[in-house]
Amino acid sequence: MASWLPAYLIHGDDHDRVAERRSRLKASAEAEVGAEGIEQLSGDAATPAEVGAALSAMTLGMGRRFVLVEGVERWKDADLAATVVPALLALDRETTTVAFVAMEDKKLTAPKALVDAIAKIGGTAVHEQALKARDLPRWAMGQAARLGLDLDGAAAQALVGHVGERRVRLERELEKLALEHGVGARISTADVEGAVADGAERQVWDLVDAIVAGDRQTAVTAYLALRGQGESLPRLTGMLQSRMRTALEISRRLDAGEDRGQISKSVRMAPWMLDRRITEARDIGTPTLSLAVDRIARLELAARGDSTLDADTEAIRAIGAITTRR
C-alpha cells in the first residue's frame, strides 16, 4: 500500500507532463480503492466554494478517501480564505488525500494561498515548466543519465530533432533505448536514428514528398496532422529546407550543363536517391526552388517567433506558395 501525503499540487505550463503526473497519481489511487473510490471535481463542481464544502463533508467510506480537483489555475487567492484553505487545514491527514491540478499559462497560475496551505499541512507541489527548445538536448542527456544511459550531445540533438519538443515523447523514446541497450550503454546518433525512425518519421517524409511533388492538399493535411500530434515546427522546416536546398543545388548545376556523373562526385547519397533528386530538380525548376528556399527561410524565422503571423498560418501559406507550379 502506497504511503500518501495529505495533499498534492501538480501544476505548470508543460501540460503534457502535468497530465501524465495526474494520470499516474490517479492510477496509484485507483489501485488502492478502485476507480469508483476517486472523487473527481472539475468545471462547476470545482469552484473554491464547492471544493471547500466537499473536503469538509463527512464520508462513510472505509479506507483512505481520494479527491481529485482540476482547473485550480482559475482560482483567485481572495476566494480561498473562507473556503479551501480552512478545509485543508482541518483535513484528516490520516484518512484523506486531495490532489489539485493546474494547467497554467502566462495568465493563469495556481494561487499562492493554495500552495502555502498545501505546504503547511505537509503536502507537496510539483511544478512542470516547459523548456525552451535550445534546452531540451541538455535535459535529454540528464534524463538518459537517470536511466543509466550515456547520451552524448550530438545524439541528444538528433533525438530532439527526430521526436520533437514534447518531453513526454522524448522520455518514452529514452525509455525504449534503455530497454533495448541496457544500463551503462553509450547511445550514438546512429542508435537514436535507428530507434525513432518509425511511423511518425515516415509521416514527416510523406509531408516533404507531397510538398516537393506540388500536392498542396496532401501537404497541408499531412502538416496539420503532424502538428496535431506534437511534431516540432523547427524540425519540419529543417528537414524541408535541407531537401529543397539539395534540389536547388542540383537544379543549378543542371542549368550549368553538368550531367549526372559530374553531380554524383560531390553530392553524397545513394545512386537511387540521387536519380530521384535529379528528377525532382528538373520537374520543379530553379525559379520555383529558389522561391521555396526563401519561403522556408522565412518560415524558420516564424518558428522562432520572429513574425507577426501565427507560425502555423505562416507554414500553410508557405506550403501554398511552394506547391504552386508556374
**Better-scored residue on pLDDT, 132 or 142:** 142
Q: Grade residue 70 by pLDDT with cuts at 50, 70 and 90.
A: very high
In-domain check, residue 90: yes
* Nearest in space to 142 (alpha carbons), one of 159, 127, 162, 126: 159
Mean pLDDT of 131-152: 91
Same domain, 141 and 118: no
Q: Grade residue 200 by pLDDT with cuts at 50, 70 and 90.
A: low
In-domain check, residue 181: yes
The whole-model pTM stands at: 0.55
pLDDT of 191 above 70: yes
Strand order in 124-127's β-sheet?
38-41, 65-70, 96-103, 7-12, 124-127
Same domain, 13 and 111: yes
In-domain check, residue 29: yes
Domain with residue 170: its CATH number is 1.10.8.60
**Better-scored residue on pLDDT, 211 or 123:** 123
Q: Final residue of a domain: which of 196, 222, 247? A: 196
Q: Final residue of a domain: which of 142, 170, 196? A: 196
* Nearest in space to 1 (alpha carbons), one of 56, 66, 61: 66
Which range, of 18-22, 84-88, 243-247, averages the lowest pLDDT? 243-247
Q: Grade residue 60 by pLDDT with cuts at 50, 70 and 90.
A: low
Same domain, 102 and 143: no
Taking the C-alpha atoms of residue 40 and residue 27, their distance in angstroms, rounded to an integer, is 13
Helix and strand totals (H; E) in the chain: 15, 7
Q: Grade residue 326 by pLDDT with cuts at 50, 70 and 90.
A: low
Three-class SS of residue 151? Answer: strand
Residue 272: the pLDDT is 62
The residue segments making up the domain with residue 189 are 133-196
* HSE toward the beta carbon, residue 245, CA cutoff 13 A: 9
Taking the C-alpha atoms of residue 240 and residue 37, their distance in angstroms, rounded to an integer, is 50
- The total number of structural domains that make up the chain: 3
Same domain, 102 and 15: yes
Phi, psi of 273 (to 5 degrees): -70, -40
Q: How far apart are the first and last CA of the chain?
A: 69
Find the helix or strand (DSSP H, E) in which 279 lies: helix 271-284
* HSE toward the beta carbon, residue 181, CA cutoff 13 A: 23
Task: Dihedral sign for Cα 254, 259, 261, 265, please.
Answer: negative
Same domain, 19 and 120: yes
Each residue's pLDDT tens digit, 24-43: 899 889 888 887 889 999 98
Same domain, 103 and 172: no
Buried b (16+ CB within 10 A) or exposed e, 133-164: beebbebbbebbeebebebeeebbbbbbbbbb
- What percentage of residues in the chain have a pLDDT greater than 90? 32
Q: Final residue of a domain: which of 127, 155, 174? A: 127
Amino acid symbol at 34: G
Mean pLDDT of 162-188: 85
Phi, psi of 11 (to 5 degrees): -150, 165
pLDDT of 266 above 90: no
In-domain check, residue 107: yes
Which range, of 147-161, 245-259, 285-299, averages the lowest pLDDT? 285-299
pLDDT of 274 above 70: yes
Task: Output the average pLDDT for the chain.
Answer: 85
Reported for 310-315, long-range contacts at CB under 8 A and 24+ positions apart, including other chains, are: 311/233, 312/227, 312/233, 315/223, 315/233, 315/236, 315/237
Mean pLDDT of 197-224: 75
